[in-house]
Amino acid sequence: MQGAIPATSPTSNIAGQFNAFRAFVLSALAGLQQQVELLAKQTDQLEMRSRRKMLLVHGISESKDENLVATVTSSLSNHLKLTEL
């Protein structure tokens, strides 16, 4: 009787084990994709918060020893014709 093949041999169970493993991997992958999307959204929100109080000014020449605030203030007040800025 030792030579008899059992009703459920290890090879017949491989397909079931593979399907269970595949389902586990796909569910883990879906969870990881959701986490990546959440982290990307949070990163975007943090970047937008840090940029909220920034103003980029193009077209003003830069020099090495300049007072940036004074240069931008005078340029904006001249171009926008503001008396006080």
pLDDT in tens, 49-67: 888 777 777 877 778 888 8
CA 41 to each of CA 2, 26, 35, 37: distance values in angstroms, whole numbers, following the listed order:
61, 23, 10, 6
Rg (CA), the chain: 33
Confidence of residue 26 (pLDDT cuts 50, 70, 90): very high
Residues 48, 21, single domain; the answer is yes
> Would you say residue 78 lies in a domain?
yes
Judge whether residue 8 has pLDDT over 70: no
48 and 60 inside one domain: no
Are residues 42 and 62 both part of a single domain? no
62 shares its domain with 48: no
Q: In which domain, by residue range, is 41 found?
A: 17-52
Identify whether residues 48 and 59 lie together within a single domain: no
Count of structural domains within the chain:
2
Q: What digits encode the pLDDT tens for the residues 27-45?
A: 999 999 999 999 999 999 9
